[in-house]
Chain A
Amino acid sequence: AQSVAQPEDQVNVAEGNPLTVKCTYSVSGNPYLFWYVQYPNRGLQFLLKYITGDNLVKGSYGFEAEFNKSQTSFHLKKPSALVSDSALYFCAVRDGGYSTLTFGKGTMLLVSP
């Protein structure tokens, strides 16, 4: 079985400050990990993925994520938040032996001016 946990329902950060959105996962095989973002009344958009290789993955809009195998985590980060980053963020995992993606419950990121 595969599962994802996003422990924070909401993250608040001031514009210009660094942000972190947390994600932990559970798989039996090798994980494929993803972050997606959802703006109001829109579908989900892909941000970045980890398949193998470097533990620090860079994605769209200045976001990056750090894969930590020992802590089974894949936290999303950005050095300097923008008000326009305010959205709902989803972490997702696929166990290498499965064909489906399992999503976390989502974390609302609110960036204040």
Chain B
Amino acid sequence: NAGVTQTPKFQVLKTGQSMTLQCAQDMNHEYMSWYRQDPGMGLRLIHYSVGAGITDQGEVPNGYNVSRSTTEDFPLRLLSAAPSQTSVYFCASSSKPGQGAGGANVLTFGAGSRLTVL
């Protein structure tokens, strides 16, 4: 089992460029999410999805778009990159809250994607 796979691992962008961070999971998880990790800020939720065709905003959604056309994939799009989006991005997935393991949605994380915007 590959778990959660994120690509690319590293990316450097110029201000104004667009790009997509890819996330794929092979665990048939319904719930998927994107977090960003910044020093002293912990992990902050960007967007999440509770199933194919359903997405919602998290704490810091501005400047990012997501879509969920399949259960396996949950790409994160940066529309016009800004230096403030320099961060490490993590994708995570779990079974649907309320199902399995006593209702606890234990997240499985990808290895992360380090993005630098110049």
Binding site for B on A (CB under 8 A): 6, 9, 32, 34, 36, 41-46, 49, 51-52, 90, 94, 96, 98-106
Whether A43 contacts B41 by the Cβ 8 Å rule is no
Would you call B42 and A45 a contact (CB within 8 A)? no
Q: Which residues of the partner chain B approach A46 to less than 8 Å between Cβ atoms?
A: 106-108
Contact B111 A42 (CB under 8 A): yes
Task: Flag if B97 contacts A99 (CB, 8 Å).
Answer: yes
Say yes or no: A103 contacts B42, CB within 8 Å.
Answer: yes
- The answer on a CB contact under 8 Å between B48 and A99 is yes
Query: Which residues of chain B are within 8 angstroms of A9 by Cβ–Cβ distance?
Result: 40
In the complex, which of the residues B40, B45, B90 contacts A100, with contact meaning CB atoms closer than 8 Å?
B45
Total A-B residue contacts, Cβ distance less than 8 Å: 66
Asked if residues A94 and B97 are in contact (CB atoms below 8 Å), the reply is: yes
Chain A residues with Cβ under 8 A from B44's Cβ? 103
A52, A90, A98, A99: the one within 8 Å of B43 (CB)? A90
Once the chains bind, are A102 and B45 in contact (CB under 8 Å)?
A: yes
Q: How far is the CB of A43 from chain B (nearest CB, A)?
A: 4
B residues near A106, Cβ cutoff 8 Å: 42-43
